[in-house]
Amino acid sequence: MKKIKNTLAVLFCLAFFTTGYAQTIEKAKLDLLFDRLLEKNKAMGSIAISKDGNVLYTRSFGYGQITETMKKPLTENTEYRISSITKTYTAVMIFQLVEEMKLNLGDHLDKFFPQIPNASKITIAQILSHRSGIPDLNVENGWRMQARTHEEVIEVIAKGKPIFEPGSQLQYSNTGYVLLGYVLEKVTGKPYQEILKERIISKIGLTHTYMGIGNTNIDNNESLAYTYEGTWKEAPEINFSVPAGAGAILSTPADMIKFIQALFDLKLVSKNSLDQMKTMRDGEGMGLVQFSFAGRTLYGNTGGSNVSGAWLAYEPNEKVAMAYTTNAKIVPVAEIVAGIFNIYWNQPYEVPTFDAVEISPEILDQYVGVYGIAGAPVKMTVTRNGATIAIQNGANTIPLEAITTNKFKLAYGVTVEFDAAKKQMTIKRPQGEGVFTKEN
């Protein structure tokens, strides 16, 4: 009896201290971070944090719709584009079909889409792990803004030239996951939204998750996206029909943490499937990627456009889940997420003031131009808009935040330094740096 009492006492203490730990989260410091982001016009969005399925913190800040006469506040029920985090949901449903023996990871793409170049060599596993060699869509500006049929999208993909032999390299491919979404429909004979509802939404009780249709629908409590140029300005985003199974899901942080908790609780796939999903090769798993924050290893995914973004992460040892969504990506999302986890795990962290260094247009104009590296195809274009400059790389435009008159923040842990006299731009990352020379 004494042994039983001692055991109960230990269990009681463990429960007490676990509860106490959950309550020590610095909510006031998290609130300060989001208050300051909004005050300085650096972000708007929503966040949810849970531990072992118990929600510890939620917050929404900013607006889902802004007009001359009205500002509609974001709430915990506002639905955001989660973009490439959609790929994790698609991968989960692919693995479900594999477990049901309706699909094989070794199946080749020509079983479904023989018109795609190299389809007889490309496996489902290679597409899941971004090793298919399928290039992203090569279309003119505006093509993605209009509704497209599956046939139209496949026709464009089929015109693309493979960028490497399947399995030989890694290159992130949105089009690969678009095709995986179509594979789901071919195998099940149902539309993606219905498959998503049956296999994930209804199974774990999500209430604000679905596949988007057309463009953002404010009447459905979906958030519009914004840039900040002295005032908030609505930004266009691509039609949901184009990214499909690669990026067309809308959700809320509350639903997202519920999803990833269920995934790691093995309520959606088996342990074997989850292990395959989170096994990293060259930094990519199968629908999951790996992060490191505050000395911990987390799994999840990220997504976003030039103006909106989302982050979903799970730490399996402590069973901590975090989802952050934004409809105004001014400060890099990675920087905000790093701050969130530093605060959560009580790491040294001072909430930034987000006060910008003011630089004259005359100085900024010295940095404007096209930059390249000899012998490499990559080009970076620096542009100025008022008192700020930005880097354009392909379709992506990333604003730079001034640290000094010639040093700027590009992303979390990444800076850009200009030497106007030498006509050079140096991008510095933790893993190294690249020196670009101005071409004009």
60 vs 341: CA distance, rounded Å: 17
Q: Give the start-to-end residue ranges of the domains of the chain.
A: 81-344, 361-438
Q: Residue 260 corresponds to which tokens in the numbers above?
A: 């990833």
- Quick one: fold of 361-438? Lipocalin (2.40.128)
Do 300 and 260 form a contact (C-beta atoms < 8 A)?
yes
- Average pLDDT for consecutive 10-residue bins of the chain (440 residues)? 41 38 78 97 97 97 96 97 98 98 98 98 98 94 94 97 96 97 98 98 98 95 92 93 97 98 98 98 95 96 91 98 96 93 96 87 95 84 90 79 88 84 90 87
- Identify the bridge partners of residue 228 per DSSP, sorted by sequence position: 232
Count CB-CB contacts under 10 A for residue 429.
12
Decide if 81-344 and 361-438 have a common fold: no
- Nearest Cα residue to 398 out of 387, 383, 386: 383
Predicted local confidence at residue 431, as pLDDT: 72
Neighbouring residues of 298: CB distance < 8 A, sequence distance ≥ 6: 290, 291, 292, 313, 314, 315
Do 309 and 128 form a contact (C-beta atoms < 8 A)?
no
Angle between helices 86-99 and 253-264 (to 10 degrees): 30
Can you state the percent helix, strand and coil of the chain, rounding each to 5?
35, 30, 40
- Nearest Cα residue to 389 out of 363, 427, 423, 371: 363
34 vs 58: CA distance, rounded Å: 11
Q: Model pTM?
A: 0.82
258 vs 323: CA distance, rounded Å: 10
In the CATH hierarchy, which top-level class contains the domain 81-344? alpha beta
